[in-house]
Amino acid sequence: MPLGRSSILAQVLSVAQMRAAEEALFEQGTSVEALMETAGRGAGEYVRRIAAGRPVTVLCGPGKNGGDGYVIARHLMEHGTPVRVVAAADPATPAARNARGLYQGEVLGPDAVIEGEVLIDCLFGSGLTRPLSDSLLGLLRTLAENHHLKVAVDLPSGVESDSGACLNAGLPRFDLTVALSAWKHAHFAMPACETMGALRLFDIGVAAVPGAAAVLTRPLFTPPPADAHKYRRGLLGIVAGEMPGAPLLSAEAAMRAGAGYVKLFARARPAGVPNDLVCHAGPDADGLDDPRIAALLVGPGLGRSGAAAERLQAVLELSVPVVVDADALVLLGPGMMTGPAVLTPHEGEMAALERAFGLSADAPKHARALALAQASGAVVLFKGPDSVIAAPDGRVLHAPRAPSWLSVAGTGDVLAGITASRLAVHRDPFRAASEGLWLHGEAARRSGPAFTAGDLARTVSKAFA
Ligand SMILES: NC(=O)C1=CN([C@@H]2O[C@H](COP(=O)(O)OP(=O)(O)OC[C@H]3O[C@@H](n4cnc5c(N)ncnc54)[C@H](O)[C@@H]3O)[C@@H](O)[C@H]2O)[C@@H](O)CC1
Ligand SMILES: Nc1ncnc2c1ncn2[C@@H]1O[C@H](COP(=O)(O)OP(=O)(O)O)[C@@H](O)[C@H]1O
Ligand SMILES: [K+]
């Protein structure tokens, strides 16, 4: 079945994939000029609305991003918005030269002193290959300082499309970034994504690209079937360790994320176990061989001692679908996982895993997640302000920005609990990671400012709404 337009619009493309998708449109008879016209008019309409009659300065570079800028300027002129262009360099491609030729308005050189209301950055887009020269960086920064509202077209100049790296220090921040034709990795990767302001995408009709990454969109949740019972909805076992607080937080979240039954396995019943959480007290691995267990969570509060490592080994040998988080990630090595698994590292745990699996950390975040997924055979949910999910089969999902209030102790335990709960429901690790990450972000959005991890865990059921 062909993909619907909204699935195609969720795809996230590398520069090479973007060029290939563009080539496919050319082969169907579209010209570069026509594509630039569509893209420039689309972005121009966003600019016209946001400018609301205020004068606009468009900074144009030599490539196609600059070409888009001349189309935007012409669109604004035609609709009565005052506009002028600052040309940082002469157009260097036939399409950009054509766009400049069609624009009849004012074009100033890079030395002009300009102050104004709205700045449009069309200096460089996805074609940026090296840092901006000092003079171009100076021009961009001066214009940014002298305008109130700043809009980047496709990408802010100075940002590397495939990695989200900022190739210069001191790049300006934008209020809005209008992506053209498809999302790029940089739109979701730190540090670039933080400079972009609100994100919008303008569709120019590219087709689905096989193997492309995608943005995490709202999953489809259904209530339990009419004949559901607690075991059919999934029994989740949470393996406690040396510190009781973290697995209790995971359990609070897991009980609200869909599993029919959440059971805490601890050596002794910890203080503060809520009445609605069943606790199985006994020695290591006691009770974990219950065939009704659909999924396990191990790691939060586990500890890093020899005893903790043995406990982890015993859990992984059961080959039950498992979420491996926190301390367990630091104890994990090649060959230890025997069943379906989700790993949920933050940056520090990722670095430990890369050492254990002999992987390089010198790559964009999504590529690091994918390399670990392929080396370990597990789905990897690499957390942070720019969380990303990768599967061994090559699927990659970027999360949209989540509230930075999540940067508080214990929210990782909540994410692990939600993800494990989803895994107990359907035993599909990639789906569990996607649903877990989405519910976690949505619970954070619904929790308002300055929440605790406990508040977040108690908000998870509302995120289903
Ligand atoms: N891919 C598509 O389907 C479409 C792309 N369009 C636009 O085309 C853009 C990509 O165009 P280009 O590939 O021409 O790339 P850019 O416009 O980003 O510029 C690349 C040009 O600048 C040079 N360059 C790169 N880094 C430089 C630096 N630091 N200092 C000086 N020169 C540098 C390159 O050698 C190349 O000549 C997109 O971002 C988007 O705005 C749109 O026009 C329409 C459709
Ligand atoms: N600045 C931020 N913006 C958005 N999300 C964040 C930010 N910082 C952390 N998070 C999220 O919060 C959670 C923190 O998890 P983790 O680092 O394991 O903390 P802990 O071990 O204290 O639970 C992760 O899901 C992470 O993606
Ligand atoms: K730009």
Q: What's the 16 CA to ligand 1 centre distance in angstroms?
A: 13
Q: How far apart are CA 325 and CA 329, in angstroms?
A: 6
139 assigned to some structural domain: yes
Helix and strand numbers, DSSP H then E, in the chain: 14, 19
Whether the CB of 384 sits within 6 Å of ligand 2: yes
Whether the CB of 338 sits within 6 Å of ligand 2: no
**End-to-end CA separation in angstroms for the chain:** 29
User: pLDDT tens across 248-257, in order?
Assistant: 999 999 999 9
User: pLDDT tens across 360-405, in order?
Assistant: 999 999 999 999 999 999 999 999 999 999 999 999 999 999 999 9
Q: What is the pLDDT of residue 311?
A: 94
Q: Where does a domain end: 177, 210, 243?
A: 210
Q: Which residues line ligand 1 (CB under 6 A)?
A: 18, 22, 35-36, 39, 61-68, 92, 124-133, 153-154, 180-181, 204
Q: Is 6 exposed, middle or buried (0-12, 13-18, 19+ CB in 10 A)?
A: exposed
Q: What is the pLDDT of residue 460?
A: 98
Q: What is the pLDDT of residue 2?
A: 62
Q: How far apart are CA 260 and CA 226, in angstroms?
A: 14
Q: What is the pLDDT of residue 10?
A: 95
Q: Which atom of ligand 2 is nearest to the CA of 401?
A: 4
User: pLDDT tens across 18-33, in order?
Assistant: 999 999 999 999 999 9
280 in the same domain as 199:
no
Is the pLDDT confidence value at 1 over 60?
no
Q: What is the pLDDT of residue 110?
A: 92
Location of structure tokens 């392929």:
374
Q: How far apart are CA 254 and CA 436, in angstroms?
A: 10
Q: Which atom of ligand 1 is nearest to the CA of 157?
A: 18
- Average pLDDT over the chain reads 96
User: pLDDT tens across 244-290, in order?
Assistant: 999 999 999 999 999 999 999 999 999 989 999 999 999 888 999 99
- Residue 181 annotated as lining a ligand binding site: no
Q: Which residue range forms the structural domain that includes residue 444?
A: 235-463
Who contacts 83 (Cβ-Cβ below 8 Å, separation ≥6)? 55, 56, 57, 58, 73, 76, 77, 105, 106
Query: What string of DSSP letters covers 408-425?
Result: STTHHHHHHHHHHHHHHH
Q: What's the 454 CA to ligand 2 centre distance in angstroms?
A: 14
Q: Which atom of ligand 1 is nearest to the CA of 126?
A: 39
Structure tokens at 124: 């460089």
Confidence band (pLDDT; 50, 70, 90) for 228?
confident
What's the number of domains the chain is made of?
Answer: 2
Q: How far apart are CA 84 and CA 69, in angstroms?
A: 11
Q: Which ligand is nearest to the CA of 350?
A: 2
Tell me the sheet residues that pair with 305.
none
195 in the same domain as 322:
no
358 assigned to some structural domain: yes
Provide the CATH number for the domain around residue 268.
Answer: 3.40.1190.20
- Sign of torsion over alpha carbons 248, 251, 256, 262: negative
Confidence band (pLDDT; 50, 70, 90) for 225?
confident
Q: Measure Cα distances from 339 to 311, 336, 424, 425 in Å.
A: 16, 9, 14, 16
- Residue 130 annotated as lining a ligand binding site: yes
User: pLDDT tens across 118-134, in order?
Assistant: 999 999 999 999 999 99
Q: How far apart are CA 193 and CA 173, in angstroms?
A: 10
Amino acid of residue 413: D
273 in the same domain as 127:
no
Is the pLDDT confidence value at 73 over 70?
yes
Q: What is the pLDDT of residue 166?
A: 98
Pairing relation of β-strands 147-153 and 379-382?
unpaired
Q: What is the pLDDT of residue 318?
A: 95
Structure tokens at 8: 């195609």
DSSP 8-class letter at 125: -
Whether a cis peptide bond, with omega within 30° of 0, leads into 191 is yes
Q: Which ligand is nearest to the CA of 135?
A: 1
Q: What's the 252 CA to ligand 2 centre distance in angstroms?
A: 17
Q: How far apart are CA 58 and CA 107, in angstroms?
A: 9
Amino acid of residue 232: R
294 in the same domain as 168:
no
Q: Collapse the DSSP code of 375 into the 3-class scheme (helix H, G, I; strand E, B; otherwise coil) and give the result.
A: helix
122 assigned to some structural domain: yes
Provide the CATH number for the domain around residue 172.
Answer: 3.40.50.10260
Q: Which atom of ligand 2 is nearest to the CA of 383?
A: 27
Question: What's the pTM value of the predicted model, to 2 decimals?
Answer: 0.96
Please state the ipTM of this predicted complex: 0.95
